[in-house]
Amino acid sequence: MLSFCDENDVRRLDMRTVDGRNLLGMTLEEVDAIGRQLKAAGVSVPTFVSPVLKWPAPGKAPSDGKVDFAFDPSTCPTDDPLAHAFDVATVLGASKIRVFTFLRYPGFRPDDLLAPVGRLVDLADRHDTTVEIENEPVCNIGSMTELTGYFASLGEPSPWLRPLVDIGNSWSMGEPPSDDDFETLGPMVDLIHLKDRDFEARRTVPLGDGKVPWARELTRLLAHVTVPEVVASMETHCPQDGRNATARSVAALRRIAGEIGVEVV
């Protein structure tokens, strides 16, 4: 991973797993050892891409089967996985933490997230770390339209709480984002996830090789963004050829950014 960053001039790396283990399942000593290697290589970590709330809600049976990258909170080395997630982010020097909205179940309402998100916001305030809620198809908020509805239900969201828009996830559900989604979420966005899809083959492909119209979608989103910089986090999801696919995705992002007049730093 570090040699890839050096070869492709990548100096910021969001962290999720190392050697097949999620960082939320590691002790802080293990995370610190990883963090020191990253720092020595000149790589910073903007976001801890945690699996927080990518597990069944208490008393709710999820409607889907096996879920990729789901997390069993009982495997966390402490009895408080939410607090541990913020400690992991602090050790990594990450200013953002990605979270989910429980695995999808029938009858979900935005108020179901009141207690867990309230706890996350309280921890965010204490740790000076922004909570980023991602739209994820297997979770209760899967599309950007569902993400828009959730943030609209909050009225005045906490400044510690932001939407992590995943345009590719919305397209993969057959629910491309609407103009209203971009208009509502754009002013709150400071982090996005990038991936591309071959819809016919139902698989993820390197950025630029799929059917998501990225130049158009990024232009639509950035027209409403108010922060000076948006963190763009690449999710390759091509395990059969991860290194080459990721390199192609990084090159595609730089090409697309040039096409739409955006600087990649």
Give the E-state strand segments of the chain in sequence order: 17-18, 21-22, 47-52, 96-99, 130-134, 161-166, 191-194, 196-198, 203-205, 231-234
Asked if residue 174 belongs to a domain, the reply is yes
* Model confidence pLDDT, tens digit, residues 21-53: 999 999 999 999 999 999 999 999 999 999 999
Can you give the pLDDT at residue 237?
86
Asked if residue 191 belongs to a domain, the reply is yes
Asked if residue 35 belongs to a domain, the reply is yes
What's the CATH number where 70 sits? 3.20.20.150
Structure tokens given for 127: 């740790």
Parallel/antiparallel/unpaired status of strands 231-234 and 203-205:
unpaired
CA R_g for the chain: 18
Report the amino acid identity of residue 82: L
Whole-model pTM: value is 0.95
Asked if residue 157 belongs to a domain, the reply is yes
Can you give the pLDDT at residue 65?
67
9 CB-near residues (< 8 Å, 6+ apart): none
* Model confidence pLDDT, tens digit, residues 108-136: 999 999 999 999 999 999 999 999 999 99
Asked if residue 173 belongs to a domain, the reply is yes
Asked if residue 265 belongs to a domain, the reply is no
Can you give the pLDDT at residue 165?
98
The stretches of 12-166 forming alpha helices (DSSP H) are 28-40, 81-92, 114-127, 144-153
Is residue 164 within 8 A of residue 132, CB to CB? The reply is yes
- Number of compact structural domains in the chain: 1
* Model confidence pLDDT, tens digit, residues 61-117: 887 667 877 899 999 999 999 999 999 999 999 999 999 999 999 999 999 999 999
* Span 233-246, average pLDDT: 89
Asked if residue 124 belongs to a domain, the reply is yes
* Model confidence pLDDT, tens digit, residues 157-193: 999 999 999 999 999 999 999 999 999 999 999 999 9
Give the domain extent around 94.
Answer: 2-260
Q: 227: which DSSP letter?
A: S
* Model confidence pLDDT, tens digit, residues 209-236: 999 999 999 999 999 999 999 999 998 8
Asked if residue 50 belongs to a domain, the reply is yes
